[in-house]
A and B are shown apart, each in its own frame.
Chain A
Amino acid sequence: MFIQLLFASSATLTVGCALGVLATKNLMHSCIFLLGSLMGVAGLFATLGADFVAVTQIMVYMGGVVILMLFAVMLTGGKDFISRAQNLLGLPSSMGNKWTYSVGGLVGLVLLLTNIRLISNVMNSHAPKVIGDEYPSTVSQIGHLLVKDHVLAFEISSVLLLGALVGAAIIARPRKQK
């Protein structure tokens, strides 16, 4: 029952907050809605028995990515907001207008239909399995997989992270104004 409750609330949180990301015109609110949506996905991971992935999701997104995005939003305000608000340059508003929404919505609709076609195929071909309620611990297994079967991907991703760290630091470092 708990699991069902968790699933229902997580799914609601995920979808609802994702809609919030789409609907709000305020970038800061959008970020917070994203946070909620990602929390919901973490909850869904938990209902799938992926405890380690769920906690990693919380750790990386809440502790890192979302705060980083909040910082980016704060650091990139400036004159832009004023000129956009008065539409001085004739470009669409920063958070979109009805045209961009309608184009995006149209494309989204097409993709929705496409994917429903795909999913229906998948669900027809794979009879739904009956899965028990047990949730074995995944931590030690994931640890073994990471350093045995997937060791190459593991090392490459660590190099990727190092590269991203150095690259981000170099790109974003303040330069002397002329």
Chain B
Amino acid sequence: MEYTVGSIAPIFLSPVIAFVINAFFGRKLPRQGDWLATLSIFISFIFSARIFGDFVFGQFATDFFIHKTFTWFDLSHGSQIWKVDMGIYLDNMSAIMLLMVSGVAFLIHLFSTWYMDHDEKHGRFFVFLPLFTSAMLGLVLSDNLFSLFIFWEIMGFCSYSLIGIYNKKEKAGDASLKAFMTTRVGDVFLLLGIVALWMLLGSVNYVDIYAAIAEGKFDGQSVLGISFATFAALCIFLGAMGKSAQFPLHVWLPDAMMGPTPGSALIHAATMVTAGVWVSLRMYPLMVLGDITWFIAVIGAITAFGAATIATVQTDIKAVLAYSTLSQLGYMIIGVGVGSYNAAFMHVITHACFKACLFLSAGSIIHSVHEQEMPKLGGLRKYLPYTHFAMMACTLAIAGIPFFSGFVSKDRILGDALYYGFMSGQNPLLAIVPILGFAGAGLTAFYMFRMMFLTFYGENKQHHDNHGHGHGHHDAKGHKSHGHDIHHEHLDVRQNVPLLILAVFTLGFWFSGTLTGQSFGNLFGAKTEWFKILVEAPQVEKFVNHKREDFSKMDTREQSHLEHAHYHHQTGYAGPNPDEHKLHSAHTIGAIASIFIAFAGVLLAFLMYIKKSVNPWATRFPGLTKVLQNKYGFDDFYIDVLIKKGLLGLNRGLAWIDMGIYDRYVVDGAAAVNRVMYKVAKWFDNVVIDAIGVDGTGVAVNLFNLVLRIVQSGKIQFYFIMLVMVLASYIWTLNF
């Protein structure tokens, strides 16, 4: 196998070229260049598929990686290294991620060509979409934190543009600003972490960081009183929190649905939000070294549960999906925190597939019905059969029903969390992680089926309600909604094929490699449990003697030179090696519990919304519903408390100090002293100063003025003459 840069670079470059062409000449192209963007992503997909095939189907061993790099600039001085390299780092994880990103992005592009047809923002949308995808692909390919940060910021900009693409709507503008500013908080920390690492190590290459961890370069280093590794890991994780919308910084993601639905699909599924998980996975050894995995797990658990509760009361179909994204991201972060490295990554992939499909289905509904408030929908099953099929498959997957992908990945995370919380001898308070995780899983099943039942089942309210179309219609389409009829679905390739393809990948056996988890029903050509075998936490010791490869050199290592590693239950805990038996029993318990919880959630939803035998929560717990509908008041908190109370309060406090203390005591007191002094001073003034001082000064100034007036002529040449003369006299008085 040979890998040149030329066989990898097109993955990233072809969408960039499409972006450039669309940005400058898009208006002149037929269909405003959407076919070009789609084609470019397809090219990326082809190249990614080749790499995926080589890496996964036995070409390379588990720990194989390709690292090509060149020095961008080098400020090294003496023994201190300060350099920035740029390059490509490819391992099994990137190969899988590349295929997922390019594949999902391609389907989303294809769907968008249908969805954005006749939209006034059609061209602009297809300028940013390929750039967004290319930034994510570049982020996956990059071999160092610095270029990762560059792509990270490009994605931030693109999400800003995509969310606010309907720039005439004030809400969209607000949402885009909110997304930009909230992620910026995280980005500042990420940059801080990168700079800190650069300062210590002189390089921010992954391999250099791994090698430094293995060599113990972090030992004994501290900054601001805490260990350096903790500081750097915390900063980088805070950056990841911003991008992956974790608990305190999550407020931007639900608002991000202001953009067109395919754009949300791209933001929520394949690209932007997974970038945070991606960087946490890449920097996992640093997180372990910095001992912040418990923090990560807790943040993930809070997000997973909190978002799930909010999702249960949302009425906007896209809002439900947005909060479910938050919740699922929480699971990924739990996975990172509890050390189930490959399950967290697997959840990234499975989630990307079913969440993209869910969003595209929602887009299909919105585009057909021009309505996205669930209470106004219902009974769409017979109008949108393909959409119903795809969305049902995805809902089963996300709810964690067995044989679907969500079960495979989420169950593993939950099993590891169970072990982490109860059996690994950690702090007993950390039991909150599995508890919140399981509760969230149940809620997930509940709210997803609630959405399904409200949307596709029951009676159709569209025929009776002709007036409610205009409002609540967040996706301002270019054309007016007709208001009297649902478009019957016919098999439009661009609408339904992406949905159906993605729906196929909600089956669990693609990811677990087998249908049942045993050697029965193997996926053709792949290994059993290929995901577990191929993805493992980076073993930092390997990188100590790693030699960098020249950027332009061809990589021609043969398969025969490497042996396949065998799968161990090595899950990379921070603590002592996990007890194999305990872990296994934890997984068994977790699987049974999560199946039970999932079905309980489905049943509850069924009883509430189909049988109507249980009152919906809204009538039962109005107070709680109110809280949830306010999203725990985070938005209000940020605006009212943090900005209004916090900043304004600070201002008021400062004003009080100024007016109350300074004015009253210092100024007034000084006035009293002054009054006494005044009497003394008056005499002194009249006699001493006026007579001698002032008049004398006047005379002196007058004299001095005569000289200065000549010097300060305002004529630049005169100044120059003075300068030259001073210089000359200086030289003449020197003796050398």
A interface residue numbers (CB < 8 A to B): 103, 107, 110-111, 114, 117-118, 121, 147-148, 151
Whether B736 lies near A107 (C-beta < 8 A) is no
Contact (Cβ within 8 A) A107 B725: yes
- Inter-subunit contact B728/A114 (CB<8 Å): yes
A-side contacts of B731, CB under 8 Å = 114, 117-118
Which residue in chain B gives the minimum CB-CB distance to A100?
B717
Known: A111-B724, A114-B732. 13 other contacts (CB 8 A): A107-B724, A110-B725, A110-B728, A111-B728, A114-B727, A114-B728, A114-B731, A117-B731, A117-B732, A118-B731, A121-B736, A148-B74, A151-B75
Write the nearest CB–CB distance from B341 to chain A, whole angstroms.
39
Q: Does B721 count as interface, using CB distance less than 8 angstroms?
A: yes
> Interface code B699-725, partner A: CB below 8 Å = 1, 0 otherwise?
000000000000000000000010011
| Interface status of B24 (Cβ within 8 A of chain A) | no
A147 to B731, CA, bound (A): 37
Given contacts A114-B732, A117-B732, A121-B736, A151 and B724 within 8 Å (CB-CB): no
Q: From residue A164, how far is it (CB to closest CB) to chain B in Å?
A: 20
- In the complex, A25 Cα to B242 Cα: how many Å? 68
Q: List chain A residues, Cβ under 8 A from B524.
A: none
Q: List 21 A-B contacts (CB under 8 A).
A: A103-B721, A107-B721, A107-B724, A107-B725, A110-B724, A110-B725, A110-B728, A111-B724, A111-B728, A114-B727, A114-B728, A114-B731, A114-B732, A117-B731, A117-B732, A118-B731, A121-B736, A147-B73, A148-B74, A151-B73, A151-B75
Residues of A within 8 A of B725 (CB): 107, 110
Q: Which residues of B contact A121 (CB under 8 A)?
A: 736
Closest chain A residue to B730, Cβ basis: A114
Restricting to B417-464, which residues have a CB under 8 Å from any CB of A?
none
The interface residues of chain B lying within 8 Å CB-to-CB of A110 are 724-725, 728
Cα A167 to Cα B208 with chains together (Å): 42
Please, how many angstroms separate the alpha-carbon atoms of A39 and B728 in the complex?
30
Residues of B within 8 A of A118 (CB): 731
B residues 26-54 in Cβ contact with A at 8 Å: none
A25–B75 alpha-carbon span in the complex (Å): 52
> Which residues of B have CB within 8 Å of A148?
74
Please give me the residue from chain B that is nearest to A118 by CB atom: B731
Give CA–CA (A114, B724) in the complex, Å. 10
- Closest 10 A/B residue pairs (Cβ): A114-B728, A114-B731, A110-B728, A107-B721, A107-B724, A111-B724, A111-B728, A151-B73, A121-B736, A118-B731
User: Which residues of chain B have C-beta atoms less than 8 A from A107's C-beta?
Assistant: 721, 724-725
Q: What residues of chain A lie closer than 8 Å to B75, measured between beta carbons?
A: 151
Q: Interface readout for B597-616 with A: 1 if CB under 8 Å, 0 if not?
A: 00000000000000000000
Chain B residues in 8 Å Cβ range of A103? 721
Distance between Cα atoms of A160 and B731 in the complex (Å): 32
Chain B residues near A (Cβ < 8 Å) = 73-75, 721, 724-725, 727-728, 731-732, 736
Return chain B residues, CB-CB under 8 Å to A114.
727-728, 731-732
Least distance between B565 CB and chain A CB atoms (Å):
41
CA distance A110 to B721 in the complex (A): 11
Nearest residue (CB) in A for B722 is A107
Could you tell me the distance between the alpha carbons of A107 and B731 in the complex, rounded to whole angstroms? 15
The interface residues of chain B lying within 8 Å CB-to-CB of A111 are 724, 728
A118 to B734, alpha carbons, bound, how many Å? 11
Docked Cα-Cα span, A151 to B724, in Å, equals 33
By beta carbon, the residue of chain A nearest B718 is: A103
A105 to chain B, nearest CB (A): 12
Q: For the complex, what is the distance from the CA of A118 to the CA of B731, rounded to whole Å?
A: 8
Q: How far is the CA of A111 from the CA of B725 in the complex (A)?
A: 8
Q: A31: shortest Cβ distance to chain B, in Å?
A: 20
Residue of B nearest to A147 (CB): B73
Q: Which of B74, B721, B724, B728 has the most CB of A within 10 A?
A: B728
Chain A residues lying within 8 Å of B724, measured Cβ to Cβ, are: 107, 110-111
Whole-angstrom distance between the Cβ of B86 and the nearest chain A Cβ: 15
For residue B74, which residues in chain A have a CB less than 8 angstroms away from its CB?
Answer: 148
By a CB distance below 8 angstroms, the chain A residues around B736 are 121
CB distance from A100 to the nearest CB of B (A): 8
Complex Cα–Cα for A118 and B727 (A): 12
| B715: min CB distance to chain A, Å | 11
A117 to B736, CA, bound (A): 10
Contacts of A147 in B (CB 8 A): 73
* In the complex, chain A residues whose CB is within 8 Å of the CB of B727: 114
| Beta-carbon nearest neighbor of A155 in chain B | B73
A101 to chain B, nearest CB (A): 12
Min C-beta distance of A171 to chain B, whole Å: 18
Report Cα–Cα, A148/B77, bound state, in Å: 12
Residues of B within 8 A of A151 (CB): 73, 75
**Which A residues touch B721, using CB under 8 A?**
103, 107
Cα of A148 to Cα of B76 in the assembled complex, Å? 10
> What's the minimum C-beta distance from B70 to chain A, rounded to whole angstroms?
13
Taking the nearest CB of chain B, how far is it from the CB of A22, in angstroms?
15
Q: Which residue of B lies closest to A115 (CB)?
A: B731
| Bound complex: CA A147 to CA B727 (Å) | 36
Nearest CB in chain B to that of A151: its residue = B73
* A111→B727 CA distance, assembly (Å): 9
Complex-state Cα separation, A103 to B724, whole angstroms: 12
Measured in the bound complex, the distance between the Cα atoms of B728 and A117 in whole Å is 11
CB distance from B78 to the nearest CB of A (A): 14
CB distance from B467 to the nearest CB of A (A): 52
Chain A residue at smallest Cβ distance from B720? A107
Q: Closest residue to B74 on the A side, CB-wise?
A: A148
Q: How far is the CA of A37 from the CA of B731 in the complex (A)?
A: 29
Q: How far is the CB of B636 from chain A (nearest CB, A)?
A: 43
Report the minimum CB–CB distance from B720 to chain A (whole Å): 9
Q: How far is the CA of A10 from the CA of B736 in the complex (A)?
A: 33
Cα-based distance from A121 to B731 in the complex (angstroms): 12
Closest to A152 in B: B75
Closest to B73 in A: A151
CA distance A151 to B71 in the complex (A): 14
The smallest beta-carbon distance between A38 and chain B, in angstroms, is 22
A151 CA to B73 CA, complexed, in Å? 9
A110 to B74, CA, bound (A): 47
CA A157 – CA B73 in complex, angstroms? 17
B649 to chain A, nearest CB (A): 41
Q: Which residue of A lies closest to B728 (CB)?
A: A114
Residue of B nearest to A106 (CB): B721
**Considering the chains assembled together, what is the distance between the CA atoms of A121 and B721 in angstroms?**
25
A143 to chain B, nearest CB (A): 14
Nearest CB of chain B from residue A95's CB, rounded to whole Å: 14
CA distance A111 to B731 in the complex (A): 10
* Distance in angstroms between the alpha carbons of A147 and B736 in the assembled complex: 38
User: Nearest chain A CB to B83's CB is how many angstroms away?
Assistant: 12
Q: How far is the CA of A115 from the CA of B565 in the complex (A)?
A: 77
A172 and B271 CA atoms in complex are apart in Å by 46
Q: How far is the CA of A38 from the CA of B736 in the complex (A)?
A: 33
Give the nearest-CB partner of A110 in chain B. Answer: B728
State the CA gap A67–B75 with chains docked (Å). 39
Residues of B within 8 Å of A117, CB to CB, are 731-732
